[in-house]
């Protein structure tokens, strides 16, 4: 039996069901909304597993599911050397968002990463501690800033309402996902012009460590139905 993990609620679940349905594979939730069980029709030997989008990278890496739909940002941030643990099969064309760095709009002289680097050094000299960047994407942000030569900062964890951390004085800047920028503007933040860390979208991934012997036939049939060219397992 091939297990495929799909986001368990909201627009990501609906859009995923639509994407598969348009290709002849019907997915539906069964039972009560909070039971997180589902069914797949249109291809034999496939089991639907409803999970939070944030859980799917972990389950793929552990080999507990064979396929999974989640944001490309989540896979890259949660899995070290992600390409060794999962294979990226197909972008699905929805769930678009950019992971960016934003600073207070009143920082009129800070528009680029070089400006941020200079501001961070001045901030530390003035306040005696490093400029704080609130984020839940620690791996991606750290790798990006290291590659760009920005060093005088510290990441502080934010698992919700990241845009409000500057107003609440728990951070001086943020690194977060945005699709329209409206929430950033509402919180008087601006995006640095060269700070797009990753352009994310919902993506179909395959686990490299799952037991493919029990799922190979279903995998081949599903890929054929979807019109996706995946690696042989």
> 71-81 pLDDT, tens per residue?
999 999 999 99
Mean pLDDT computed over 100-115: 97
DSSP-assigned states of every residue in 6-25: EE-SHHHHHHHHHHHHTTT-
Would you tell me which CATH number, out of the four given (3.40.190.10, 3.40.50.300, 3.90.420.10, 3.90.1560.10), belongs to the domain 97-199?
Answer: 3.40.190.10
Name the residue with higher pLDDT: 29 or 145. 145
Q: 3-state SS of the chain: helix, strand, coil percent to 5?
A: 35, 30, 35
pLDDT band at 33 (very low <50, low <70, confident <90, very high): low
What pLDDT, on the 0 to 100 scale, is given for residue 31? 65
pLDDT (0 to 100) of residue 96: 95
Q: What is the pLDDT of residue 191?
A: 97
> What pLDDT sits at residue 132?
97
Q: Where are the domains of the chain?
A: 2-95+201-226, 97-199
Helix (H, G, I), strand (E, B) or coil at 95: coil
Question: pLDDT grade, residue 38 (50/70/90)?
Answer: confident
Q: For a pLDDT cut of 90, what percent of the chain falls above it?
A: 90
The answer to whether 136 touches 158, Cβ cutoff 8 Å, is yes
Give yes or no on whether 2-95+201-226 and 97-199 have one common fold: yes
Domain 2-95+201-226: CATH class, spelled out? alpha beta
Q: How far is CA 228 from the centre of its chain?
A: 21
Residue with tokens 């977060």: 176
Report the sign of the C-alpha dihedral through residues 114, 115, 117, 121, in that order. Answer: positive
pLDDT of 59 higher than 60: yes
Taking the C-alpha atoms of residue 229 and residue 205, their distance in angstroms, rounded to an integer, is 12
pTM, two decimals, is: 0.91
pLDDT interval class at 36 (50, 70, 90): low
Is the pLDDT assigned to residue 35 strictly greater than 70?
A: no
List the beta bridge partners of residue 132.
154
CB 39 within 8 A of CB 30: yes
Alpha helices of 22-78 — where are they, by DSSP H?
56-62, 72-78
């Amino acid at each position: 039996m091939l297990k495929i993990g799909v986001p368990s609620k909201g627009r990501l679940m609906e859009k995923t069901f639509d994407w598969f349905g348009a290709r002849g594979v019907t997915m539906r939730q069964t039972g009560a909304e909070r039971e997180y069980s589902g069914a797949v029709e249109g291809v034999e030997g496939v089991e639907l597993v409803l999970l939070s989008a944030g859980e799917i990278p972990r389950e793929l890496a552990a080999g507990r599911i064979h396929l999974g739909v989640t944001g490309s940002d989540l896979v890259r941030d949660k899995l070290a050397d992600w390409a060794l643990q999962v294979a990226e099969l197909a972008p699905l064309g929805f769930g678009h968002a950019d992971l960016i760095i934003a600073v207070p709009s009143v920082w009129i002289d800070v528009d680029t990463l070089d400006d941020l680097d200079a501001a961070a050094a001045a901030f530390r000299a003035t306040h005696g501690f490093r400029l704080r960047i609130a984020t839940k994407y620690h791996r991606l942000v750290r790798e990006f800033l290291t590659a760009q030569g920005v060093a005088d900062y510290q990441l502080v964890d934010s698992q919700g309402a990241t845009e409000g951390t500057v107003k609440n004085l728990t951070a001086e800047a943020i690194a977060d996902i945005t699709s329209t920028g409206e929430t950033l503007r509402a919180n008087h933040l601006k995006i640095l012009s060269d700070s797009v860390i990753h352009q994310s979208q919902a993506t179909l991934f395959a686990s490299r460590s799952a037991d493919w012997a029990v799922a190979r036939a279903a995998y081949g049939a599903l890929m054929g139905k979807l019109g996706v060219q995946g690696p042989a397992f």
